[in-house]
Amino acid sequence: MADLAGQLDASAATVRRDLLKLEADGLLTRVHGGAVVEEEQPSEEQPPFDEAAGVRVAAKDAIAAHAAAMVEDGQSIILDSGTTVHRLALRLHGRRLTVITNNLAVYDELNGDDDIALMLLGGMVIRESRMLDGFMAEDNLRQVHADWLFMGACGLRPGGQVMDTTVAEVPARRAMISASDKVVLLADKSKFPGTGMVKICGPEDLHALVTDAPENDATCAALSEAGVRVIPTAHAR
């Protein structure tokens, strides 16, 4: 600690405070006398939507089934981009719901369902992710309110921080959180820790996590301790 303070020309108290903040954001782990920077996952681009949609389908369907059971008819929900969220949309047919989304796959799925009031957020079309994004989506979200937000993520840090790989997508996701009463993260075990260099939110913003990760997973335990309801699927047992 003293060596680091000397290199940075800062007091030991300042260095300690900054290390605590970086650890809370999931960017490093403190050890005796200093800290170790968390290694990022290999810098691979997120797979295109259609490719990702064919991976871990059974696990995603189990997560989607639990998520669908949380919603009551008459409620409004925001559906984020991502393939697990799209699997949830498949289970909403015939439900009397209002669905707000920037997910073009969700829009295509629910557009013909007369029971669902469907709102498509504006923005630039991100073709590889099949989503709409940008300041127009953020502006639209400031005008709405939802009972639930169901969101995906690229990764989930050990401390419970929800991460994304793309800086540009984070503001709209944060706007979705602000527009919702309850936020539910849908994440299969491949997202533990997954990838991501940008923090979307922390445990304090989450109401629940639905996952097939093992119930004794350290990240799940950390989220439970932070007051997040962790809902394991049959795949997790």
User: Is residue 43 assigned to a domain?
Assistant: no
Domain that holds residue 90: 49-236
Looking at residue 235, what is its pLDDT? 57
Shared domain check, 30 and 64: no
Amino acid 27: pLDDT: 53
Calculate ∠ Cα 202-160-186, nearest 5°.
90
Same domain as 7, residue 66: no
Kindly give the parts of the chain with pLDDT less than 70: 1-10, 14-15, 18-47, 50, 53, 235-237
Based on the domain organization, do 86 and 192 belong to the same domain? yes
Q: How many domains does the chain have?
A: 2
The pLDDT of residue 52 is 76
3-state secondary structure 124-172: EEEHHHCEEECHHHHHHHCCCCEEEEEECCCEECCCCCEEECCHHHHHH
**Which pLDDT score, from 0 to 100, does residue 55 have?**
75
In this prediction, residue 40 carries a pLDDT of 43
One domain for residues 33 and 53: no
Q: What is the pLDDT of residue 168?
A: 84
Do the Cβ atoms of 39 and 27 come closer than 8 Å? Answer: no
The pLDDT of residue 58: 92
Residues 29 and 138 reside in one and the same domain = no
On whether residue 42 sits in a domain, the answer given is: no
